[in-house]
Homo-oligomer: A and B are copies of this chain.
Amino acid sequence: MNTSSPTDLPPTPGFEYRPEIKVLDCTIRDGGLINDHLFEDSLTRAVYEACVAAGIDYMELGYKADNKIFARDKFGAWKHCYEEDLRRVVGENDTDLKLSVMADAEKTEYRRDIVPKEKSVIDIVRVATYIYQIPTAVDMIKDAHEKGYEVSVNLMAVSTVPDAELQEGLDLLAKTPVDIIVLVDSFGALLPQQIRDYTRRYLEVVKGTGKQVGIHCHNNLQLAFANTIEAATIGANRLDATMNGIGRGAGNCSMELLLSFMRNGKYHIRPILQCIQDHFVPLREKLEWGCMIPYLITAHFNQHPRSAIILRAGQDKDNFVEFYDQWAKS
């Protein structure tokens, strides 16, 4: 397979590539929120192989969800990411691609379900937390760190968090052994100017600690890619994206756009295009994701997209004017 990038393209204008930058594919983890993680192994394997061929740094396979909250028989394997399920797809992962799982605060039995690193094929644990769950998240970070993992924390829904509270939360996280703090625009409501301001703030918090700042955007306002590259240009070094932008609701930053931007010879866009053509074009016949007006409306009102997801799942899915009116009146 020809995986080379054309070398005659000029470097990305206005962006100096830094070797510290790492790209994380969260296709199976975030995309799995659409279908209860019921992806076939063949699709998960195709994404894995595309990530390896494309030179992507990390692939997030799913959640380490508590099986008492999320029953095994109601969700696909990538909701729990047991070692035997992971190895069925990635074997011993004898590649340069690092593997990630996400652990939600208050939805993970982390002491039991996150096994010591030497027993796992996983490289990094990403703790997802709302601001009010930070005490739990701090404990999860310590636990994963002590077990030998690289650890990231994804602080969700920052667009709803008052400034002083956010600062307090970030300061608490900066004191933990976490390796990466990820700016997460859960509602897809942040504009580029805000992303730049938040990124500068996160960078300030980690200054001198050796920690990195990451960025995870949603596409409600069709800004996921723009916001990701704006954060990267300013100094965020961990960039999340998904194949064809798959993800809950409006989806995420598209990997194909991000790799088109990263013109540095390290990443190769062609394996991503091939994976999308072979697997995600057909998948779109069965699953819906991407920019649609109901998601614009929830972002406009700085709300979680869940009401828009419910609208799109119903009979009256194109009646977004009534949906807008409900939010405008509330």
Contacts and interface: CB of A to CB of B under 8 A. Distances in A.
Number of identical monomers bound together in the oligomeric complex: 2
A320 B273 contact: yes
A230 B6 CA distance: 29
Contact of A222 (B194, B225, B299, B321): B225
A92 interface: no
Interface in A262-278: 269-270, 273-274, 276-277
A153 to B, nearest CB: 24
B12 A191 contact: yes
Given A13-B193, A14-B192, 4 more contacts: A222-B226, A222-B257, A274-B321, A276-B293
A318 interface: yes
Contact of A9 (B12, B260, B269, B301): B301
A179 interface: no
A281 B221 contact: no
Interface string A64-88: 0000000000000000000000000
Nearest to A5: B328
A319 interface: yes
B9 A318 contact: no
A194 B293 contact: no
